[in-house]
Amino acid sequence: MRTVRLLCTGMLLSFLLGCQAYSDGSTRTTGEFADDVQIKAAVKLRLLNDPEVKGLQVGVSVAKGVVTLRGRVPSDYARQKALRVAGETGSVNGVEDRLTIVE
């Protein structure tokens, strides 16, 4: 019984993740969703490890491989570095800049 319950839960979770929809009506597969989650984690980790960027102030979101960075950075150098770090992360298709410089 436990195996059947786990199997049904896994199938339901796969179905729900596979049916993620974007506001423009397009959908993404379970693999695309998983890729976006992995990209987000990798970018956020790299930003947190960078002393110039101060990654705690930078929010990261990913949709279809395009990374959007939001938040505050201390300088234009930090902004450029955050964009470069995000763009150099594997599987990133593009980077959208929504960062604010707070001096």
8 belongs to a structural domain: no
User: Is there a domain that residue 88 lies in?
Assistant: yes
pLDDT digits (tens, 9 = 90+) for 49-89: 998 887 889 999 999 899 999 999 999 999 999 999 999 99
Full domain range(s) for residue 69: 29-101
Residue with tokens 């506001």: 23
Is residue 95 a part of any domain in this protein? yes
CATH of the domain at 50: 3.30.1340.30
Give residue 55's pLDDT.
82
Position 24 in a domain: no
Terminal C-alpha separation, the chain: 60
Domain count, the chain: 1
Give domain status of residue 17, yes or no.
Answer: no
- Residue with the bigger pLDDT between 9 and 77: it is 77
User: Is residue 13 domain-resident?
Assistant: no
Please name which of 36, 37, 34, 56 lies closest in space to residue 47, comparing C-alpha atoms.
56
pLDDT per residue as tens digits for the range 31-46: 777 789 999 999 999 9
Question: If you ran DSSP here, which 8-state letter would residue 91 be given?
Answer: T
The answer as to whether 40 is a domain residue is: yes
Q: Is 79 or 19 the better-scoring residue by pLDDT?
A: 79
Which token pair is 100?
Answer: 């604010």
The pTM assigned to this predicted structure is 0.70
Give the bridge partners for 63, in sequence order.
Answer: 66
Give yes or no for a contact between 45 and 60, defined as CB atoms under 8 angstroms apart: no
Does 21 map to a domain? no
